[in-house]
Chains A and B, each alone.
Chain A
Amino acid sequence: MAKIIIDRERCKGCELCTLICPQKIIVMSKSFNKKSYHPAELMNPEKCTGCAFCAMTCPDVAIEVYK
C-alpha cells in the first residue's frame, strides 16, 4: 500500500509526472489551481506502488510519497 500527495497549489501542470509514472495513474485535473494551471492528480490510488519516480521528476517538488 502506497500513496502520493500532490500539492495542488505548487503544481504548474508540466505533466512530467504523468509521463514518468510506470502505472500511468497520474492525470491532469480538469479544474484550475490558483496559478491557473491544471494540476496533476492521482487516479486509481490503489495501483500506486510508491516508486517515487513522480516525486523525483517533479520540478516543483510538489509530490510527497508514503509507503
Chain B
Amino acid sequence: MGVKKLMKQVFTKPKSLTDVPFTYCPGCHHGIIHRLVAEAMDDLNIAEDTIGIAPVGCAVFAYLFFECDMIVAAHGRAPAIATGIKRVKPDNIVFTYQGDGDLASIGTAEIVHAANRGEKITVIFVNNAIYGMTGGQMAPTTLEGQITQTSPYGRDSKTMGMPIRICELLSTLNSPAYIARVALTKPAYIVKAKKAIKKAFQYQLDGKGFALVEVLSTCPTSWGLSPKEANEWLNEKMIPYYPLGEFKNVEEVS
C-alpha cells in the first residue's frame, strides 16, 4: 500500500477489460490485442456505446473479457452481423474481432463485401498463420513450407496456393477508409499497433468508413514453439511475407 501512496501508477489493466483471466495459452498474443482494443475504448471513452462481435476460434470467449456488449457470430459471419447492427444502430460503435481461419477462410466473402460496401465498422483481424483452436491445421494464411497438422510436409504452393495477404487484397477496393498491418513482438511495434487500433475506432466515430487492422500474432502451442521462439519465428518468417504498415488511409489520400 505504501508503494501506491508514494508513486504514481503509470500502467494498469484498462477499465474496458473485465477481471476474468484470459483463457488463452501462455505467450499467445490475443491477450495483448485484447488489452490494446480495451485501451482504445478507454481512450475514446466509447465502451458504453460499443458492441463487439466475437468470432469462432480461440477468441470465441471474448465476451467474457470486454466490458462492452458482445455477440458471438457464426463462423466467419461477424462482418455480416456487424453490418446489421451498425445499420440499425448507427450511433453505436461496432467492432468485430476475428482470427485468420474465421476472416480469411470461411468468412472471406463476408469481409470482402463488407469492405466493398464501405460499412462503417472496425475489424480487428488476428493473423497467426494457423487454425489455433482446432489443433493447428493449415489456414489460408499459413506460410509456404510451414508444417501444420494438415500440411505435414510443409505447405506446397503448387497444390495449396500461396498465403492470402488480406490487407493487400482489401486495399485494392475503393471503399475502405483505413487498412493497416501491425505486429506485437517489440515495444515499438506494440506502440504502433495501439495507434493503429485507436485510429480504426476513431475513423468509425468520424463516420469515415470501413477500417481493418491486421495484427500478426503468435500461436506458440500450435506452432510447437516456446513463446520466445514463436516471437522470433514471427519476426523472421512472417514479417518478410506480411509487411507491416498502413495500406490504405483515406485521410492521407484526400
Asked whether B11 lies within 8 Å of A65 as measured between CB atoms, the reply is yes
Choose among B10, B13, B35, B228 the residue that contacts A16 (Cβ–Cβ < 8 A): B228
- Inter-chain CA distance A9–B220, complex, in Å, is 21
Instruction: Tally inter-chain residue pairs, CB-CB below 8 A.
Output: 82
> Does chain A have a CB within 8 A of B24?
yes
- Inter-chain CA distance A12–B227, complex, in Å, is 11
Asked whether B12 lies within 8 Å of A60 as measured between CB atoms, the reply is no
Asked whether A50 lies within 8 Å of B26 as measured between CB atoms, the reply is no
Asked whether B187 lies within 8 Å of A56 as measured between CB atoms, the reply is yes
- Inter-chain CA distance A58–B28, complex, in Å, is 10
Q: Of all chain B residues, which has the CB nearest A3?
A: B3
> Does chain A have a CB within 8 A of B30?
yes
Asked whether A66 lies within 8 Å of B7 as measured between CB atoms, the reply is yes
Interface residues of B in 215-234 (CB under 8 A from A): 220, 226-228, 231
Asked whether B10 lies within 8 Å of A67 as measured between CB atoms, the reply is yes
Kindly list chain A residues whose C-beta atoms are within 8 Å of the C-beta of B11: 52, 55-56, 63-65
- Inter-chain CA distance A2–B9, complex, in Å, is 10
User: A-side interface residues toward B, CB under 8 Å?
Assistant: 1-3, 5, 9-10, 12-16, 19-20, 37, 50, 52-53, 55-61, 63-67
User: B-side interface residues toward A, CB under 8 Å?
Assistant: 3-4, 6-14, 17, 21-22, 24-32, 34-35, 184, 187, 190-191, 220, 226-228, 231
In the assembled complex, 8 residue pairs joining A and B whose CB atoms fall closer than 8 Å, in A order, are A56-B190, A59-B22, A60-B22, A61-B14, A63-B11, A64-B13, A66-B4, A66-B10
